[in-house]
Amino acid sequence: MKNILVVCGAGASSTFLAHRMRTAAKARGFEVTVKAVSQSAIDSRMPGIDVLLVGPHLADELSVLTEIAAGYNVPAALLPDDVFGAGGEEAALDLAIETLGASDPVFSTAPSSPAPISTIRPDTHGEPLMTERTAQIASSHGLHARPASLFTQAVATSGVKVNIAKGDGKAVNAASILGVISLGIESGDTVTISSDDANADQVLDDLAAMLGRDLDAE
C-alpha cells in the first residue's frame, strides 16, 4: 500500500482530484491511498506519504514544496496544466507511478475480491435514502465570498449532486454560490450536507472536512 498526497493552494481542487484518483486506482486494481492537502497544511500531512503531486498553479512553489517533501524522503512531481479536466485523474495516477518507479510492486494488480454490498437502503417508497454529513463551519467569516466560492467549486468538480442546509432550515444546491450565500451561514454554524448519489460517501466526507477548515486562512 502506497500513499499519494496531492497539494493545491486551498485544498479544494486537490480534494476532488484525489477522489477521482482513488476511483481510477480502484478500477486499475492498484492498492494505494490518495489524500489532498492545502499548501498551508502540507507539513502536517507529509508523515507516511510516499509521493507528493503538486497542483499546476503551484509551479512557482515547486522548488519549495520539493524541498519540504525531500525532508521526509518523499519524491515530488508537478501535475500537468489540464489535470483538473476530463481524464486528469488517469494522468495524475500515471505521474505517481512514474515518480515512484514503474517497477514498484504496489502497482501490480491487487487480488480480486468480492464486490461490496451496497449500504444504501431503500426507504418505504422505494427511493434511496439520503446520505448525510454534518459539519461545523470553521471559516472565520462563514460561508461568504471566498470560502463559499471554494466550496461550491469543489462540489461542482466532484460530479455528485449535493445539497446543503443550515440547522433545520431549507436545503439548497451546494454547487450554487448564490444558494449557499443565501443561507447566511456564519462561523460556528452547523450545516448538513446530503446526497442521494450512490457514490456520495467519500465526496461528503471530503466536503465535511473542507468545511471544518478555515478557508479564509488558506
Q: Measure the CA–CA gap between 20 and 100, rounded to whole angstroms.
A: 19
For residue 20, report the phi and psi dihedrals to the nearest 5 degrees: -70, -35
How many residues in the chain?
218
**Residue indicated by cell numbers 461545523:** 136
Closest by Cα among 218, 203, 87, 194 to 155? 203
- Cell readout for 21 is 484518483
CB 7 within 8 A of CB 58: yes
For residue 66, report the phi and psi dihedrals to the nearest 5 degrees: -65, -40
- Options 19, 57, 125, 144, the catalytic residue: 144
Q: Measure the CA–CA gap between 53 and 8, rounded to whole angstroms.
A: 9
User: DSSP readout, 19-57?
Assistant: HHHHHHHHHHT--EEEEEEEGGGHHHH-TT-SEEEE-GG
Residues forming a β-bridge with 51? 4
Whether 144 is catalytic is yes
What residues act catalytically?
Answer: 144
